[in-house]
Amino acid sequence: MGIADIHGHYAFGIDDGAKTIEDTKKLLKYAKENGVSHIAMTPHIKPGKMDDDFMSEYYKAMKETSQIAKDYGIQALVGSELLLNDLTYDYLKNKQFYSLNNTKYLLVECDINKDFEDTKQFYLDLLYEIEISGYTPVIAHVERYFKEIDLEIIKHWIHLGYVIQMNIQSLYDGSASEKKNAITLLKHGYVHILASDSHSVNNFRKPSFNKGIKELSKYCSKEEIKTLLKENPIHILKGEKVKSLVKGGNS
Ligand SMILES: [Fe+2]
């Protein structure tokens, strides 16, 4: 079994990720060369910015992408990256999203353009709402929300059973704060899953796992790398419990 990349914009023509079928093919080829065997397609869902036909177009793009992925020996599964904003409550009620491979795990993102500390209570309330709707939040690229990572909130989320996802690219090509936060998170073991958040082979967010693993091995053991890139993402896709890597405890 290879790497399972559960956050990526591989499906074409639906968001700011792959634009054309050719873009998708290039991303899949590059992913395969980087040891990927499974992906979850997670196009953005930005509540309030989608029209009525969007969800059917969305599903169609994922269905076509998953057919193409077979040619590259990659199993492509459904998903979404749901933005947390004021209108997310309605989207939850109407189930306008795809959980990861239709499991209880739902990939969500905070708004990187808002100050996290000012919006913290809003996110806590909304994440609770997601929980009582029957889903476990998988919080996307947590290292990107803070100038300096708020370890207390990450610890709290882990305690609540939420899943922490980090972009592997933040380790080698992120901003100074993203890189610093990424390293801090790894040192505490406050990450469950690494993913690419791939958008295009032409920009920095592509599935460069070979490069990422070299950087990762400075902070993690081989066993931990296997958990972050293979075992935990597969647990997510099967709807199973993820393994904690929290140092000195089993939160
Ligand atoms: Fe993303």
19 Cβ neighbours under 8 A, 6+ residues apart: 12, 13, 200
CATH among 1.20.140.10, 3.40.50.720, 3.90.1150.10, 3.20.20.140 for 3-237: 3.20.20.140
Rounded to the nearest whole angstrom, what is the distance from the C-alpha of residue 97 to the centroid of ligand 1? Answer: 14
Model confidence pLDDT, tens digit, residues 40-95: 999 999 998 776 688 889 999 999 999 999 999 999 999 999 999 999 999 999 99
Contact 123, 97 (CB under 8 A): no
Contact 193, 231 (CB under 8 A): no
Q: For the chain, what are the domain ranges? A: 3-237
pTM score? 0.96
Rounded to the nearest whole angstrom, what is the distance from the C-alpha of residue 83 to the centroid of ligand 1? Answer: 10
Rounded to the nearest whole angstrom, what is the distance from the C-alpha of residue 199 to the centroid of ligand 1? Answer: 8
Model confidence pLDDT, tens digit, residues 175-233: 999 999 999 999 999 999 999 999 999 987 899 999 999 999 999 999 999 999 999 99
Both tokens of 16, joined, read 């700011």
Rounded to the nearest whole angstrom, what is the distance from the C-alpha of residue 133 to the centroid of ligand 1? Answer: 22
Rounded to the nearest whole angstrom, what is the distance from the C-alpha of residue 80 to the centroid of ligand 1? Answer: 9
